[in-house]
Chains A and B, each alone.
Chain A
Amino acid sequence: MTGLDFGVIQRALPFLLEGLALSFFLTAVAMLGGVILGLGLAVIRLSRWKALSILAAGYVNGFRAIPLVLVIFWFYFLVPLALGRSVSALQSVVIAFVLFEAAYYSEIFRAGLQSIRPGQWQAAYACGLGYFQTLRLVVLPQALRNMLPLMITQAVVLFQDTSLVYVISLRDFMTSASIVANRDNRLIETYLFAALVYFVICSIGAASASRLSARWRPA
């Protein structure tokens, strides 16, 4: 083993930071899209429309049963075919992540919505509120408290999962680190540095989730 040289990190830092920015961007977009779509899926799943509810359940369970890597391959292959023109790897990955995360966020929403006692629905209906008004004004504000820590935990998982874009060579932080590692033949230094960066970021996320859930624990 030759001596370690962490100078390689310093020289490659701008390149690595660009990758990190893409990781954050992907996380943010996938979370935003996943939350919106996931909320819709959860509401449909809990609704009285049987057929739609079964479809939503099939969507959620289907996505949750297959590997994210396979989903990334699917959309990398499928999106250009469906649109009839070539698209960038980033576009196909964004679609894949949004649809994939929606399945996971919908489960968080479903559990959160179900944690609200039926009496709350009945009380709101009794005041003359409609279904969506009750959802928006009464149920969601309460459910959000239970869900926020779980949503942050899921975001930490998602941030780690964005590293999988490595399989289609999209230059996120993970891929950038691997490029640097192999280009400069400094695998030890680069991968250890990458591990440290992921560890620090994810630890901060995990800590904020557990602080939130401790503060909001029902008395």
Chain B
Amino acid sequence: MTKAHIQASRTPAEIVEMPASARVVPISQGRKPMVEISKLYKSYGPIEVLKGCDLVVERGEVVVICGPSGSGKSTLIKCVNGLERFDRGALAVDGVAVGDRASDMTSLRARIGMVFQHFELYPHLTVLQNICLAQVHVLKRSKVEAQAKARALLARVGLPDKEGAYPAQLSGGQQQRVAIARALAMDPVAMLFDEPTSALDPEMIGEVLAVMLELARDGMTMIVVTHEMGFARKAADRVVFMDKGAIVETASTQQFFDEPRAERAKLFLSRILSQ
């Protein structure tokens, strides 16, 4: 089954399943791209970190963003759910204008999952409590329902026996898998990954990438900031290369690896692949 098939069969059901309060998008708009970024600018004081970025991510698409550190990748992905503000440009996610005061950012964020570089599990809560917290307090699910969902997801990320553990008792790879489960528990329409494996010991990267790969195969819309080119090759539909706050190249995965056009992307690829 191709990705387009999965997407077609999934999208309407997804909208029906969404709680009425969160259904901001009329069904007729369901065909719009998941994320539309145009001419996005942002500065920290005199330093311009985003210089007019354009990017469209379709529903069901997996986009990998790569580039040297300090190129603005993390800032860009954090703009998508409004964790970072931008100065100029337009950004719409699932039909909601981000940065517009009238938009209900809280309900948008509840539908966009995010996975952080340093996991950001809540250290004072157990694994199960971590996964249930936003389900209960944001989505207003019952505790029983939330726990059932949490247990199912823990099984899915391969940690069925860790629900009572505290984050500090888990390895980095385990923590990141719990963080993915925590994000999935909100039934997100899209997932953002901000360098999900760069804080991990090498031997733990694989287990996290495996979970992400499975998610991609299930048709989840994903934007992934990463240096893991193996993951990009296997899972991404498109690769975006950023440098110095600008999107230098956007290409299909095959094209990006086989014949990158931008000089800087070639240089970056040759360096990272020779490691």
A and B touch in the complex (CB under 8 A): no
Interface residues of chain B, those whose CB is within 8 Å of chain A, are: none
